[in-house]
Amino acid sequence: MNRLQVETQKDVLKNEISREALKSELRPSMHKSLERFYKKSKSPQIPNHEQLLVGDIVLSRPMKNGVVTPSVVETTQIEHGYSSEAAYWTHVSLYVGDLHIIESQGFKDIEYWKNGWRKNTGVQVKPITKYSSTHDVIILRNTHPEFSNNRGLIARFALLDHTVFPRKYDWNTALEAAPTRRFKKRSKPKLDERINCSEFILECYAIGGSVLVPEYVSVSNGEKFFLPATFYQHKSFEKIDFDYLTITNE
């Protein structure tokens, strides 16, 4: 279940993990990366990493002081015919293990940049804590019979592709998908130069894991858009229940 659902339930058991225990369970470099984001918080929370699998999809929606913030992306997705439940989710990333995700991000995040992250936009690897403390989150898992065999390939493709040939965020697609452009044909995207969040994850699944290939071909040819809401409504994914762990100093 996502964090909002957990917080609204009564009598939910409080799950905790100490910083030392978490450190022992993660690779040293991964823990150092994660620590940048929780060391200043009195009670940081993380998804229970034992319930996540490499290759899982992370859908998110920003909140401020516990309240969901308005989003142009939600309006856009509703205009494209998605349900309000699906359109609620406005960003997508790929879980690559050890509480880290890879994503194509369009906004310069000054706070993360000050902590050592690159200022430029595009495909980046970041701790999932970036979203677990400030966003509502839901996890999707592919139901394809070969998913267990391919999830490592999907993540490897994403990480290797990002390292060898980094790309910028695709603002052109974001603008063309906007409601004011809904009656105009999409231009053929230049995916070898720039890519947005949902189509990057689609590419990882199609090329890395041989899943959702027809959808990727359609996107590559400029025939349709593939949005965060598409993942939510896609019949090939199921929603995964997960818990949050509070990190303690003990």
- pLDDT tens-place string over residues 70-83: 888 999 999 999 99
Query: Structure tokens of 48?
Result: 């229970």
| Residue 215 predicted with pLDDT over 50 | yes
| Residue 58 predicted with pLDDT over 80 | yes
Distance CA 248, CA 16 (A): 7
Query: Structure tokens of 83?
Result: 């349900």
Instruction: Please write down the HEC assignment for all residues of the chain.
Output: CCHHHHHHCCCCCCCEEEHHHHHHHCCHHHHHHHHHHHCCCCCCEEECHHHCCCCCEEEEEEEECCEECCCHHHHHHHHCCCCHHHHCCCEEEEEEECCEEEEEECCCCHHHHHCCCCCCCEEEEEECHHHHCCEEEEEEEECCCCHHHHHHHHHHHHHHHHHHCCCEECHHHHHHCCHHHCCCCCCCCCCCCEECHHHHHHHHHHHHHCCCHHHHHHHHCCCCCCCHHHHHHCCCEEEECCCEEEEECC
How high is the pLDDT of residue 69? 82
Distance CA 190, CA 120 (A): 19
Q: Above pLDDT 70, what percent of the chain? A: 84
Distance CA 223, CA 216 (A): 10
Instruction: Say which range, 14-18, 38-42, 81-85, 243-247, has the weakest mean pLDDT.
Output: 38-42
**Domain enclosing residue 200, as ranges:** 3-248
How high is the pLDDT of residue 250? 66
How high is the pLDDT of residue 183? 52
How high is the pLDDT of residue 32? 85
The structural domain count of the chain equals 1
How high is the pLDDT of residue 218? 96
What pTM does this model have?
0.86
C-alpha torsion sign, points 227, 233, 236, 238:
positive
Q: What is the mean pLDDT of residues 224-235?
A: 96
Within 13 Å and on the Cβ side, how many CA atoms surround 170? 23
Instruction: Say which range, 113-117, 155-159, 198-202, 206-210, has the weakest mean pLDDT.
Output: 113-117
Name 93's bridge partners: 58
Q: Which of 122, 139, 144, 148 is CA-nearest to residue 213?
A: 144
Radius of gyration, CA atoms only, the chain:
18
Instruction: Say which range, 66-75, 117-126, 171-180, 207-216, has the weakest mean pLDDT.
Output: 117-126
